[in-house]
Structure 1
């Protein structure tokens, strides 16, 4: 039972830290006016933060657990951190798109349409692309895609980190 309490506590702590860091990064890009066309470096920073916090969470659990951690425990912690962070971030994104910047999706679509025109697409092709894109623009769909993506990224990072840090009591004998 103590292991479960430790893992839940770590998931909450590191998940909230990751969410706050991600939201802060989003606020900075918004303040700089880069929220519609963010630089690739923002993605690198975001993945770096995710990796660091997942690894730190797994490492902390191993430390608390007397140096032992199974691969499954590590994956559970890493995926949990990422999913909790994505849930909190989804709430922020909903507030952002409905209160702070209600025309965000329209602005993003205009920028995308210009890129389509610059790429040589016809008006009919752009209209078709917009119809498809509008199906994915509701806050619920965006949140679901974000959470699924976070779970997948969390699994990949934590699977690798857990495989490296894994140490079970059976291995010590």
Structure 2
């Protein structure tokens, strides 16, 4: 089980991290041009295909039988590995290559904000800048980008693949 979790988690983590890295360096090379968020979410869903594959493999290992609980725990574990790799890669990129990310991101967001929403969005961006001064908040915010998708995929996968 552990072998299955780490193999699938590492493969999914590599996929999502490669796409995130390329999008971040695109943003750094092209300030003011926002990378397509849809590409980021598609890469997350592609990475989480490994959750489904991992649950399916775990069912096959157990002679075609897996409970919802075991399937969900397998999927959740794979999701945690994928998400942790994503967070670690982001921390390396942020601290070593793009420490002014929040300033650039804020400029880009505010540039594309409607005038009537500018005050609220400026307050929101200033709050994000404050949060980004604390490494623990960076970790939590980055997990919040990816882990909820992994939890949903784990639930769906467990519901579909459970078999008694």
- Interval containing the TM-score (normalised by the shorter chain): 0.7 to 0.9
Which runs of 4 or more aligned residues in structure 1 lie more than 6 Å from their structure 2 counterparts after TM superposition? none
Name the CA distance, whole Å, in 1 between partners of 2:78 and 2:135. Answer: 22
1:136 maps to 131
Query: In the superposition, relative to structure 1, how do residues 126 and 64 fare at CA in structure 2: closer, same or farther (>3 Å)?
Result: closer
Q: Does 1:92 align with 2:89?
A: yes
Name the CA distance, whole Å, in 1 between partners of 2:82 and 2:76. Answer: 10
Name the CA distance, whole Å, in 1 between partners of 2:121 and 2:37. Answer: 25
Count of residue correspondences: 160
CA RMSD of aligned residues (A): 2.4
Q: Does 1:58 align with 2:55?
A: yes
Name the CA distance, whole Å, in 1 between partners of 2:117 and 2:74. Answer: 48
- Secondary structure of 1:135 counterpart: helix
CA shift at 1:126, angstroms? 5.4
CA shift at 1:74, angstroms? 0.9
- Could you tell me whether the CA contact under 8 Å between 2:15 and 2:47 is conserved in 1? no
- Could you tell me whether the CA contact under 8 Å between 2:47 and 2:82 is conserved in 1? no
1:12 maps to 6
**1:53-105 Cα distance to aligned partner (Å, 9 max, x none):** 11101011111111111101111111111111111221111111111122122
| TM score, norm. by length of structure 2 | 0.83
Name the CA distance, whole Å, in 1 between partners of 2:20 and 2:148. Answer: 21
Larger radius of gyration: 1
Following superposition of structure 1 onto structure 2, how do residues 145-164 of structure 1 map, counting pairs within 5 Å?
145-164=141-160
- Could you tell me whether the CA contact under 8 Å between 1:54 and 1:157 is conserved in 2? yes
Runs of 5+ unmatched residues, structure 1: 1-5, 169-173
**1:89-133 Cα distance to aligned partner (Å, 9 max, x none):** 2111111111112212211111122123xx114876555333322
